[in-house]
Amino acid sequence: MKITVISLDNWGYNKYIIDELNTYDFIETNHINFDTFIYQYPSIFHRIFNFFLKSIFNFNLKRNHLNKIILNQIKKLGHQDKILVIKSDFLSIKTIKKLKENTSELIAFYNDNIERCPRIKQVYSYFDTNYSFERTDVEKYGFNFISNYIYHDHLSNKPDLKTKTIYEVFNISSIGKRNNTIENIAIVLDKINIKYKIIIVGKKDYQPKGQILYQGNKIDIKGVNQLISESRTLLDVHRKGQSGLTFRVLDSLAYQKKLITTNPDIKNYDFYNPKNILIIDSENVKIPSSFFKNDYETIPQDIYYNYTSKNWVKTVFQLN
């Protein structure tokens, strides 16, 4: 069986899908990560020209370049039994149609919701199978529901559960609309004398409040996992209008860490335990110090398995 995964793997999570697929002897796996594609404008004229193309005709030279490379790579690989696309809203409809011609099953997984990425509505009908981590989109558009996954299954990636605790709370987020909520949470943590490590990553000028750290460059997964292992509680601030599980929630399961989250939908998952998970109101942040007094309560193994990359791969690719 030949399977190709096409994704914008800017944080490095999708490569663990490949790792899991590679555990099957009968599968030949390829990963086209278009986050690695680099487009250089031939001249300043092309940069200015692209600005006008995007503004007037909704055409992007860089996106067009990305689509061409994807199709060239698929052509070299030949017909695939299954192709999975993550972040399909980055691809043109022409490209998606060409992909469909080169596979027996074209699959999409959306770990963004349609409210945030409305172009999903334009492309989903071209896929044979659609999966989404957003329950609202699943109900409205008839997608199949599946969450993000715990990517710590493999021996080389097992969580260190014995690392000495340095921080009570840890969070890393990209700069954006969540900044104000994160800052308000940090203020509350300061008031109850909870030591935290909160990092906001981005390329824009930003002066965070309190003890929040800001940096321009991303931290790789290995570095993030080290900070997770050194923390007792993880902080999850979901995007407004989105209720799908972030990787930070799943990290809390893998590392057996308590969780503070702004996502009220988490109470509808079978791993929810109020002793492990504190749901807070992003508009009125209240964090009782008593939440930090009790240890994490381990969830049943069968529930844990449902969220692993192993089960995710079996489900999405319909493997035995």
Q: What are phi and psi of 65, to 5 degrees?
A: -65, -45
Q: How many other β-carbons are positioned within 10 Å of the β-carbon of residue 201?
A: 16
Q: How many other β-carbons are positioned within 10 Å of the β-carbon of residue 58?
A: 7
118-166 pLDDT per residue, tens: 999 999 999 999 999 999 999 999 999 999 999 987 655 678 777 899 9
- Tell me which residue of 211, 201, 178, 141 sits closest to 285, measured CA to CA: 178
User: Per CATH, is 155-302 categorized as 3.30.70?
Assistant: no
Q: What residues of the chain score a pLDDT lower than 50?
A: 39, 41, 45-46, 49-53, 56-57, 59, 61
Instruction: Provide the residue ranges of all domains of the chain, joining segments of one domain with +.
Output: 2-146, 155-302
277-298 pLDDT per residue, tens: 999 999 999 999 999 999 999 9
Q: Measuring CA to CA, how many Å separate 262 from each of 120, 245, 256, 266, 281? A: 25, 11, 19, 9, 6
- Alpha carbons 291 and 193: distance in angstroms, whole number: 13
Q: pTM value?
A: 0.88
CATH class (in words) of the domain with range 2-146: alpha beta
Predicted local confidence at residue 163, as pLDDT: 84
Total residues belonging to the chain:
320
31-48 pLDDT per residue, tens: 999 887 554 545 554 455
